[in-house]
Amino acid sequence: MSILVVSVSHKTAPMDLLSRLTLGEDSTTKMLGALVASEHVDEAVVLSTCNRTEVYAAVSRFHGGLAALTQTVEAITGIGVDTLQDSCAVFYDEAAVSHCFQVTSGLDSMVAGEHQILGQVRHALNHAQFEGTVGTTLNSLFQQSLRVAKRVQTETAAGTAGRSLVTAAVDQLAENGIELDGQRVLVVGAGSMASLAAHTVAGVGARVTLVNRTRDKAERLAAAVGGRARPLEELPAALAEADIVITCTGARGIELSAVDFRDTDVRGVIDLALPADVSPDVAALTEVVLVNLDTLAQAAQSAASGFPVAPGEAPAPTALGAGASEIAEAETLVSGEVRDFLGLRRAAAVAPTVVALRSMAQEVMTAELSRLDSRLPDLGDKERAEVEQTVRRVVEKLLHQPTVRVKQLASLPDSPDYAAALRELFALETTTIDSVSQVAR
């Protein structure tokens, strides 16, 4: 099985398209089921966050697999294949492994080095496991990617910097003269992003109020940050008492417009939701600074290119996330892990052929011993056992070094297809090799 990834992210598509691609639990479940029901897809994992939607699949054929992935996305989201092809990146086999490790480690995020993506990847894997759409190929890929991400977090400067979308958004407010220390900050939502926002702003001295549709969640989070909770029905009153608003619900029924912020003391609004919680018309208010995923994406592009954003766009920081040297250190670690993982994959790919070769040798040995029995019917049990042991040792010695070496050589980068060479040299039946592979799975 080969690994295929179709990725639509902040690097390839505008936020309005990403918003249309955002998947809830039910949609993700439907997509997973439809993917593995297709002819060329054996396994599938779907990752959907505020700045990316990606489909990972173990496929038997590249073109058939790609068609299955894009057609399934179209069926679930209503976004046409042509639009997807213009707005996605496709990764296959080695490139897919590298991309997965980069994403899970936070190196492909809008804020390089952020940690939240690791939990989102783990959730995506757990969801696919629960739905039964993960097998040996994707499970080994994602389990290793999670281990690599933990190494990046604990062993590199990029991982220990503690950067996130929240800190990047707070930095954009600071560049506009808005600091959080001592400010009244209203956080709308109580999910993982809202929790991160509440802890971040409380840590710099803000007074936090939580508003959420589920009051219990808001109260638990408020207690954790020394703040207070209010029900969603009191959102207008909470807005009237806030200096800064951070919203990250992603609920399609919530949208704050410019009208909601008139006649309030709100100076800064951070919207980290996808779909957006705050209407773009808020940016037109002269007394309010709006930071959202669009402004953060522009800043990320500016930081990556080294050029400022166009006039009229939100000002960009000199760096979004970890610095270049920190990222380089993390990427070196990830590259080494990718190389090792691919080596293990190549060695594992040749293993069924090696097993088939040994099975063929066993069959030949058994047939020859049976022929010996017919020719020498008077051969005693002791003598026959000695002959069988001698033949077995000869076969084992002849096969040992070549089979050990072929596994070692197959693990090297850019190595020839040693499995194909063994099949050709020893006339091994592909059906035998396929049956060995099925048993291994």
Q: Determine if residue 51 is labeled as part of a ligand binding site.
A: yes
Q: 100: annotated binding-site residue?
A: no
Which helix (H) or strand (E) segment holds residue 247: the answer is strand 244-247
Report residue 265 as tokens.
């003391």
List the one residue out of 335, 338, 291 whose CA is nearest residue 315: 291
Does 49 appear as a known binding residue? yes
Q: Which of 95, 81, 88 is nearest to 54 (CA)?
A: 88
Torsion of CA 56, 59, 65, 69, to 10 degrees: -30
440 is in an annotated binding site: no
* Residue 241, marked binder: no
For residue 215, the tally of other CB atoms under 10 A from its CB is 16
- Closest to 355 (Cα-Cα) out of 256, 410, 433: 433
Contacts 24+ apart (CB under 8 A), 433-440: 433/352, 433/353, 433/356, 434/352, 436/352, 436/355, 436/356, 436/359, 437/352, 440/136, 440/351, 440/352
Report how far Cα 340 is from the mean position of its chain's Cα atoms. Answer: 19
313 is in an annotated binding site: no
Q: How many CA atoms lie within 13 A of 23 on its CB side?
A: 28
CA dist 363 and 426 (Å) reads 13
Torsion region of 427: left, alpha or beta (phi above 0 gives left; psi -120 to 50 gives alpha): left
Q: Is 194 annotated as a binding residue?
A: yes
> Is 202 annotated as ligand-binding?
no
- Positions marked catalytic: 50
Is residue 52 annotated as involved in ligand binding? Answer: yes
Strand 2-9 and strand 89-92: the pairing is antiparallel
Q: Would the annotation count 345 as a binding residue?
A: no
The reply to whether 144 sits in an annotated binding site is no
Task: Determine the Cα–Cα distance for residues 167 and 115; give it in Å rounded to an integer.
Answer: 12
Is 192 one of the annotated binding-site residues? yes
Please check if 365 is assigned to a binding site.
no
Known binding residues: 49-52, 109, 114-116, 120, 189-194
Binding positions for NADP(+) are 189-194
Residues tagged in the binding site annotation for substrate: 49-52, 109, 114-116, 120
